[in-house]
Amino acid sequence: MARILARFLVLLLVVSICEAAPLFQPISDSHRSAALELFTLDHGSFKSLEETYEALRTFQILGIEKKPDVTAAACHSISETVGSLSSTPKDLFYALKANSIAECKIHAKASKGIISSLNSAVSGSSSLLDFYYSVGGLVLIKDQSSKDDLQLADAEGVFRSVKAFSQSDGRWRYSSNNLESSAFAAGIALETLAGIVSLASSELDQSLISTLKNDISKLFDSIEKYGDGTLYFDDKLVDGYEYKGPLSATSSVLRGLTAFAAVTTGNIDLPRDKMLGLAKFFLGIGVPDLKFYLACRVSIPLILSLPAAVLSLTKKDSLKVRVATVLGSNAPPLTVKLVGVFSSVSKDASLVESQELKFDQGSGLHILNDLLEIIDVGSYTFVFEVVLQEPDDEKVYVTGSQTKVPIFVTGLVRIENSEIVVLDSDLGSVESQSKLDLTAKNAVSLSANHLQKMRLSFRLTTPRGLAFKPHQAFLKLRHESKVEHIFVVGNSGKHFEIVLNFLGLVEKFFYLSGKYDMEFTVGDSAMENSFLVAIGYIELDLPQAPEKATRPPLQAIDPYTRYGPKAEITHIFRAPEKRPPQELSLAFLGLTILPLLGFFIGLLRLGVNMKNFPSKPVPAAFAFLFHVGIGAVLLLYVFFWLKLDLFQTLKVLGFLVVFLVFIGHRILSHLAAASAKLKSA
């Protein structure tokens, strides 16, 4: 659940630092719907008070109206927690944080019990989290009950106890038994110490405050850095504690820093470029709202951005730059200068001199109109510098050093002198020649043998008349058997040319003669008229393949042709053969029945008697069942003739055979025994 809530928790961490700050960035309905789906009641309540606070705070930040069922469930959980004598400091801490939003009524008697319980917890704390929950709970109860006389006994001693968890690199441990330090724990420690300072009855020893400020500077010395200047805090896995990741660790440090800055005097000396790097980190991960820079003594970074990083020479685009605070609000009066423009080819010399962009009051953009008249298509690095106009603003805002922005300038590239030629291999004379229009489909028809060559040539020039080298230029030849060959087209200055010597390519072509379709591709990110065009075909006459020559590779079979719908089969059944008259068929049926009639007549002539039929009940039953089985077999033959198929008949016949074998064996045993007794008598 914690991983799923990460993006919403960032809102809770960074926005809760400055309560009075308004929302500058718009919140979309997608944020609200996602929050409502994420935070749902489970049997009328949330799983924990921590989740209850996260839900209430997220709804508050996203501007979601208070839902009666959520507020009622929160108040019920809060009342049970504050009224229970067995509640832990962590439960009380999150109950009070949730109550700061839900605004449930807490009785004065319950408040006194909470204060007493948390004071006892402070005295018995042995880990950083114990101090964090107990001290944080006292700060919350003081804010909610307006108890100005609520003070922490021996605040300086508690301060020193928490300070004992700090490390030489500015990070903190969770407990004295844990040797691993953490930046996330440093943020928790700073917030805890800020609460101790606010609860102290008198001013603490300033040497403690100075030492802590020095620890903060050391913590920022160990900050992680990306190549683009983005800064962040990160932790390795700390034994016994869940890995928080850069997002949570960075938010924790900044929340603790602003909380500590709010209760102490004097400035915290932090380099402005590091605050700007942290702003880039949060902007890079898409945090909708950053409030921690509104804390009293932390400079607000100014962010330079471009509405479009691609400029078109064809459309005569202007260079537009926007400068705003990290919160998205308007920047103070300032000047934006274009210090230099460096191409990807020549990175040392700037193509333009320093120019100042004009500020458009209506759009809030800094604009330079005539820049594209002196640069060509390609990839460039623009270097900007932001200068504040008012000296007093330098104490509030930080602009950082020069900002480098990669920009693509696109345009239409001219394609000239395009032709395809078949040359005689020995003399180099032109056998056939065709002009090409590479902006449209061509229908060139060529023929050549293995002793000839084919040459394709063209020129590319930029709108400024300079040579243009595209990212890719390929010539593809596809045989009738779908075997493809791709060749890279080389260049020398403005001229592009490729010569195919078929004598040296016969093995590459697998000695396959026949028709080859030709396709040409030229493409580049700065080229607005990149193309893939069919040129035509060439008929090649190559020698016969030797016995040991390499065979062409098997071509992949299109799955659609293998597993797709097959062609419809049309079949005409032959007309049924002429049948004999019905009378003749009935006559033959009578002839087949005659043997059966002869069988019954023979039985009557021989004389059927029941003398050997058993007289005892059990043998008589077996004899009766045996005759019934014989009759069932005869009846099965009738059904086989009328209705059943062979498999159904054999299945039933198998059961009847087993039945007849068993019954027949019993009755024959009885008859044999009776015959033996008769002979002995």
Distance (Å, whole) CA 39 – CA 46: 8
Distance (Å, whole) CA 17 – CA 294: 8
Whole-number pLDDT of residue 342: 92
Whole-number pLDDT of residue 8: 38
Quick one: 276 and 339 in the same domain?
no
Whole-number pLDDT of residue 17: 35
Spatial CA neighbour of 287 closest among 278, 276, 300: 278
Q: What is the DSSP letter of 243?
A: -
* Six-digit token string for 662: 């068993």
Contact of 532 with 519, CB cutoff 8 Å: yes
Distance (Å, whole) CA 660 – CA 641: 22
The helices-and-strands tally (H runs, E runs) of the chain is 17, 24
Residue 365, helix vs strand vs coil:
strand
Residue 659, helix vs strand vs coil:
helix
Look up the CATH number of the domain holding residue 427.
2.60.40
Q: Which amino acid is at 630?
A: I
pLDDT over threshold 60, residue 335: yes
Backbone Cα Rg of the chain: 47
Q: Residue 7 — pLDDT band, cuts 50, 70, 90?
A: very low
pLDDT over threshold 60, residue 301: yes
**Region of poorest pLDDT, from 127-141, 145-159, 491-505, 631-645:** 145-159
Contact of 403 with 322, CB cutoff 8 Å: no
- Of the two residues 326 and 547, the one the predictor is more confident about is 547
Distance (Å, whole) CA 113 – CA 119: 10
Quick one: 378 and 445 in the same domain?
no
Quick one: 156 and 282 in the same domain?
yes
Q: Residue 314 — pLDDT band, cuts 50, 70, 90?
A: very high
pLDDT digits (tens, 9 = 90+) for 443-473: 899 999 999 999 999 999 999 888 899 999 9
Contact of 100 with 136, CB cutoff 8 Å: no
Judge whether 370 lies within some domain. yes
Average pLDDT over residues 636-658: 91
Quick one: 396 and 475 in the same domain?
no
Lateral strand order in the sheet of 452-461: 430-435, 414-424, 452-461, 495-501, 490-492
Quick one: 335 and 402 in the same domain?
yes
Whole-number pLDDT of residue 24: 37
pLDDT digits (tens, 9 = 90+) for 611-620: 677 888 888 8
Judge whether 286 lies within some domain. yes
Question: Cα(first)–Cα(last) distance of the chain, in Å?
Answer: 97
**Region of poorest pLDDT, from 5-19, 59-73, 241-255:** 5-19
Distance (Å, whole) CA 310 – CA 354: 21
Average pLDDT over residues 225-252: 76
pLDDT over threshold 80, residue 357: yes
CA 332 to chain centre: 38
For residues 190-211, one letter each, b for 16 or more C-beta atoms within 10 angstroms of the residue's C-beta and e for the rest, the string is bbbbbbbbbbbeeebeeebbee
Whole-number pLDDT of residue 290: 42
Spatial CA neighbour of 513 closest among 480, 538, 541: 541
The structural domain count of the chain equals 4
- Of the two residues 381 and 278, the one the predictor is more confident about is 381
Q: Which amino acid is at 59?
A: F
pLDDT digits (tens, 9 = 90+) for 251-278: 888 888 888 888 887 777 777 778 778 8
Quick one: 531 and 654 in the same domain?
no
Average pLDDT over residues 159-184: 87
pLDDT digits (tens, 9 = 90+) for 571-600: 888 888 888 888 998 898 888 888 888 888
- Of the two residues 644 and 201, the one the predictor is more confident about is 644
Average pLDDT over residues 383-396: 88
Distance (Å, whole) CA 253 – CA 663: 93
Judge whether 458 lies within some domain. yes
- Of the two residues 268 and 356, the one the predictor is more confident about is 356
Judge whether 46 lies within some domain. no
Spatial CA neighbour of 260 closest among 332, 177, 172, 324: 172
Calculate the average pLDDT of the chain.
83
pLDDT digits (tens, 9 = 90+) for 28-48: 677 778 777 878 787 777 888
Distance (Å, whole) CA 506 – CA 512: 8
- Cβ partners under 8 Å of residue 615, min gap 6: none
Whole-number pLDDT of residue 295: 42
Pairing of strands 472-479, 514-523: antiparallel
Whole-number pLDDT of residue 78: 85
Judge whether 475 lies within some domain. yes
Residue 256, helix vs strand vs coil:
helix
- Cβ partners under 8 Å of residue 261, min gap 6: 268, 295, 296, 297, 298
Distance (Å, whole) CA 616 – CA 193: 109
Spatial CA neighbour of 15 closest among 278, 255, 281: 255
Domain end call among 546, 569, 595: 546
Helices 89-102 and 128-145 meet at what angle, rounded to 10? 30
* Six-digit token string for 470: 């595209």
Quick one: 448 and 353 in the same domain?
no
- Cβ partners under 8 Å of residue 563, min gap 6: none
Quick one: 263 and 294 in the same domain?
yes
CA distances to 10, 165, 223 from 246, in Å: 11, 21, 11
Between CA 250 and CA 259, with CA 276 as vertex, the angle to 5 degrees is: 50
pLDDT over threshold 90, residue 520: yes
pLDDT over threshold 50, residue 1: no
Can you tell me which residue has the tokens 């700060």? 139
CA distances to 610, 622, 673, 675, 681 from 678, in Å: 17, 21, 9, 5, 5
Quick one: 470 and 524 in the same domain?
yes
Spatial CA neighbour of 90 closest among 47, 145, 129, 45: 129
- Side-chain half-sphere exposure of 189, counting CA atoms within 13 A: 28
Judge whether 353 lies within some domain. yes
Quick one: 624 and 673 in the same domain?
yes
Average pLDDT over residues 530-551: 92
Contact of 303 with 325, CB cutoff 8 Å: yes
Whole-number pLDDT of residue 21: 33
Q: Residue 326 — pLDDT band, cuts 50, 70, 90?
A: low
Render 580-632 in DSSP notation, one character per residue.
PPHHHHHHHHHHHHHHHHHHHHHHHHH----TTS--SHHHHHHHHHHHHHHHH
Domain with 499, as residue range(s), is 414-546
* Six-digit token string for 111: 């408040």
Spatial CA neighbour of 118 closest among 152, 147, 72, 143: 152
Domain end call among 255, 275, 298: 298
Judge whether 459 lies within some domain. yes
CA distances to 38, 48, 136, 278 from 3, in Å: 12, 16, 24, 22
- Per cent of the chain over pLDDT 90 is 28
Q: Residue 227 — pLDDT band, cuts 50, 70, 90?
A: confident
- Of the two residues 79 and 613, the one the predictor is more confident about is 79
**Region of poorest pLDDT, from 11-15, 171-175, 256-260, 485-489:** 11-15
Average pLDDT over residues 622-644: 90
Q: What is the pTM of this model?
A: 0.52
Quick one: 391 and 423 in the same domain?
no
Pairing of strands 490-492, 300-305: unpaired
Average pLDDT over residues 13-22: 35
* Six-digit token string for 572: 């005409």
Domain end call among 410, 436, 465: 410
Whole-number pLDDT of residue 365: 93
Spatial CA neighbour of 247 closest among 199, 189, 294, 187: 187
Quick one: 293 and 354 in the same domain?
no
Judge whether 85 lies within some domain. no
